Amino acid sequence: MQQRLSSKGRRMVTIVDPHIKRDHNYHVHQEAQRLGHYVKNKGGSDFEGWCWPGSSSYLDFFSSRVRAFWASLFSLDKYDGSTPSLFIWNDMNEPSVFNGPEVSMPKDNLHALDSQPAPVENRDVRRNTHTTQTCTPNFGECNSTRR
C-alpha cells in the first residue's frame, strides 16, 4: 500500500502515542522496562496508568537516554513495516491517563531530568512534555533517510 501511495505522490502517516502497552510479550515494553525508561510514581516504581491499549506505562522523555531509545525505534530497520514514505503523527502530546486525576498523570510522578541530580515532580514539568515527546521520533526519521 505504501508503494502504491508513494507512486501517486502521497505518503502514509501512522499515529504514535506516548504510552506503551504493558505487555510482557511486547518488545518495546520489555526493553523500556529493563532499561528503566518509564516515568516513576512517587514511590519510585514504574508508573502504570490506563489508556487506549489498556494498562500502560509512559516513557520519561525528559531523559536524553529515553529520547535516544525512542528515536532509535523509528529507524527503517526497527519500525516494523516502515518505508521511506511512512511518516509519524505524534498524538496525545500530554500523557492521557484515563484513570488518573484530571485524565492525566499524577502531579507527584517523578521525571529524571538530565540537568537535575534528583527526580523532578510532574507538576513542575508537565507542560513541557509535548516538546520532548514530539521532537524525538523526528530524529529517528531523519536518521533513516526518509523523504
**CA pseudo-torsion sign 80, 81, 84, 90:** negative
What are the structural domain ranges in the chain? 2-142
What is the predicted pLDDT for the residue at 90?
79
% of the chain beyond a pLDDT of 70? 86
| Greatest CA separation for the chain | 53
Q: How far apart are CA 95 and CA 58, in angstroms?
A: 7
Distance separating alpha carbons of residues 38 and 20, to the nearest angstrom: 9
Q: Is the pLDDT of residue 93 over 80?
A: no
Residue with cell 524525538: 136
Instruction: Tell me which CATH homologous superfamily contains domain 2-142.
Output: Glycosidases (3.20.20.80)
Per-residue pLDDT band for 30 (boundaries 50, 70, 90) equals very high
